[in-house]
Amino acid sequence: MRDFPNFIQPPLYATDQEKQFSDVLIEFNKQQPGYLKYIVHTENMRRIAALRRLLGKDQVNASNNPQLFNVITKLCKGLGVNMPIVFTYGNRDIAAITDVMSSGGACELFVENNAFTLGTKDSLYIFVSEELINSTQLNENELLVLIAHEVGHAMANHSLRTLTYQSNFIQYIVDIDAKNKIKKMMSDKSFSRLQEVTADRAALIACRNVDYVCSMLDKLGKVHPELMDYDDSESDHPNNRKRIEMIRLFAKSQLYAECIERIDGFPVDKSRYIYTESDLQVHIMRII
Ligand SMILES: [Zn+2]
């Protein structure tokens, strides 16, 4: 089980709240070694098998979609991660999936204009709707941002939050404080909004240009104006105006510089990055 802390450890760019959540899970794993990873693997394998059978498609590769494949290889280099398996789906696939999987979380995500992952750091896979790519008319840089955001969710093991909840694993946590902490995080919508912040950070690290992230969010906002500036206090996604504000702050932070430094393996001049990690955290909590 020695690899478990690595598996659960959030990426450097994750928000503080997620780091606390992971600490509780690491502690839990000491009591029930391997239990969480078993749940994750079982669930991932079940989902991938079901969804692949339904889609009956090959993953995006160099011959069936060279443009998207090129985007994926580029983003992995920027983010310093392995290649994810990416599937695209169309409206006919949605109909087939809805017919067969009338219940279960995956079905709700398989809708028009969506990109999502249920994967984890160990199992990087992403689904993108063809309609989203077509309707938003994203250029290559923005497409990279869109996919890298999903890779960010998987790298930070965001699906663990739902899985641990569904598997009712908290009943095994002995420490009352830890139990309460985790219950609170699971019911707190702002925690889920912070996960979006983390995923946007991954997208920026992958493309290295904050304007690309902002223009992707702008384009999504043009197709779906309701995403731009709604009251998000009860939502699990921050509105796009806030996402733009928060990613611009991260782009000027020392944490961002440090991430790049680690991935690229050479020093970055930090004088251009004005916010310390704690400044950044204060700003984010004010906005979220
Ligand atoms: Zn997201």
Residue in 13, 8, 6 with CA at minimum distance from that of residue 199? 13
The pLDDT value given to residue 224: 83
DSSP reduced 3-state for 29: helix
User: Ligand 1 centroid vs 221 CA: distance in angstroms?
Assistant: 14
* pLDDT tens-place string over residues 183-241: 887 788 888 899 999 999 999 999 999 999 999 999 988 888 888 888 988 888 999 99
pLDDT along the chain (288 residues), means of 10: 76 91 82 80 78 82 96 96 93 79 64 86 90 90 96 91 70 77 81 94 98 95 85 90 97 98 95 95 95
Q: Which residues pair with 85 in a beta bridge?
A: 125
The pLDDT value given to residue 109: 79
User: Ligand 1 centroid vs 236 CA: distance in angstroms?
Assistant: 9
The pLDDT value given to residue 161: 77
The pLDDT value given to residue 181: 78
- Structural contact between residues 98 and 110, judged by C-beta atoms closer than 8 angstroms: yes
- Domain residue ranges of the chain, discontinuous segments joined by +: 4-287
The pLDDT value given to residue 107: 65
User: Ligand 1 centroid vs 45 CA: distance in angstroms?
Assistant: 22
User: Ligand 1 centroid vs 241 CA: distance in angstroms?
Assistant: 15
Give the pair of three-digit tokens for residue 155.
């790298």
User: Ligand 1 centroid vs 117 CA: distance in angstroms?
Assistant: 9
Q: What is the CA radius of gyration of the chain?
A: 19
